[in-house]
Amino acid sequence: MKRYLITGASRGIGRAIAEQLAAPDIFLFLHGRDEKALALVAQLVRAKGAETLCLMADLRDHDAVKRLAGEVQASPLDVLINNAGFAVVKPFDQISLEEWNALLSVNVTAPFLLTRRLAPRMASGSAIVNVLSIAAKTGFANWSGYCMTKFALEGWSQSLREELRARSIRVLNVYPAATNTEIWNGVTGEWPREKMIVAGEIASAIGYALSRPADVALENITLSSVRGTL
């Protein structure tokens, strides 16, 4: 049985990934903070034959991230999906130090800590999927804190890929454009949901990349609306 960990699996893109990858030969570790939402996702993926365990951890807390890694490390993972993330959207001079540090902790340090702990035992043919954003390559007004984390994740992830190449562990980077999830509920302004792509498309692309032969690395996937960037 293959063992996958998906962070931020309680909703949005992470939930769609869980539903996409659920299959009878898969054990899904589903991470989040919202116990009820996670339980619902667990129910959905069990209906597809997968086995699951829900794991709660606030990724702003480095000790909680380390505990999360400890809870899945009894056997090596086959796929680690660093998906959890959040955004603070406001002018750069209104971002508090607390918000800045929380962005770094969840969007950058958590993937680093999880990968540092779990990748050393992963076998050849395993994969690490990092969910970045088009904001990993382009700056947007009022998104400086978020862009800072995704640019940082991009540099870390590219380097990680080169370090793991000799062990034939694939590092797949995914760059979604605006996707219709609850992340936008906390963003002020008019954001046309109907012009956004749906989370299932991100999940489907990840499913395709992971389904390639173990020696084929579909390393960078950008998904955006044909209508352009919002």
Ligand X SMILES: NC(=O)c1ccc[n+]([C@@H]2O[C@H](COP(=O)([O-])OP(=O)(O)OC[C@H]3O[C@@H](n4cnc5c(N)ncnc54)[C@H](OP(=O)(O)O)[C@@H]3O)[C@@H](O)[C@H]2O)c1
Active site residues: 146
Q: According to CB under 6 A, which residues from 19 to 78 bind ligand X?
A: 32-34, 37, 58-60
Give the integer Cα–Cα distance in Å for 118 and 175: 23
| Cβ at position 99, least distance to ligand X in Å | 12
The closest alpha carbon to 111, from 166, 72, 160, belongs to 160
3-state secondary structure the chain: CEEEEECCCCCHHHHHHHHHHCCCCEEEEEEECCHHHHHHHHHHHHHCCCEEEEEECCCCCHHHHHHHHHHHCCCCCCEEEECCCCCCCCCHHHCCHHHHHHHHHHHHHHHHHHHHHHHHHCCCCCEEEEECCHHHCCCCCCCHHHHHHHHHHHHHHHHHHHHHHCCCCEEEEEEECCECCHHHHHCCCCCCHHHCECHHHHHHHHHHHHHCCCCCCCCEEEECCCCCCC
| Least distance in angstroms from the C-beta of 125 to ligand X | 25
Q: How far is CA 15 from the centre of its chain?
A: 10
Which residue in 20, 83, 109, 157 binds ligand X (CB under 6 A)?
Answer: 83
Q: Which is nearer to ligand X, 97 or 166 (CB)?
A: 97
Does 144 bind ligand X (CB under 6 A)? Our answer is no
Q: Is position 145 an interface residue for ligand X (rule: CB under 6 A)?
A: no
**Minimum distance of ligand X from residue 58's CB (angstroms):** 5
Least Å distance, CB 221 to ligand X, is 12
Q: Applying CB under 6 A, which part among 66-74, 120-128, 154-162, 177-185 lies near ligand X?
A: 177-185
37 or 217: CB nearest ligand X = 37
User: Exactly one of 3, 8, 21, 129 binds ligand X (CB under 6 A); which one?
Assistant: 8
Judged by CB under 6 A, how many residues of this single chain contact ligand X? 26
- Of the candidate residues 11, 68, 122, 173, the single one contacting ligand X (CB under 6 A): 11
Please pick, from the candidates 129, 164, 179, 206, the single residue that binds ligand X as defined by CB under 6 A: 179
Tell whether residue 85 is a contact of ligand X (CB under 6 A).
yes
Which lies closer to ligand X via its Cβ, residue 214 or residue 225?
Answer: 225
Distance between CA atoms of residues 95 and 186, nearest Å: 15
> Footprint of ligand X on this chain (CB under 6 A)?
8, 10-14, 32-34, 37, 58-60, 83-86, 106, 131, 133, 176, 178-179, 181-183
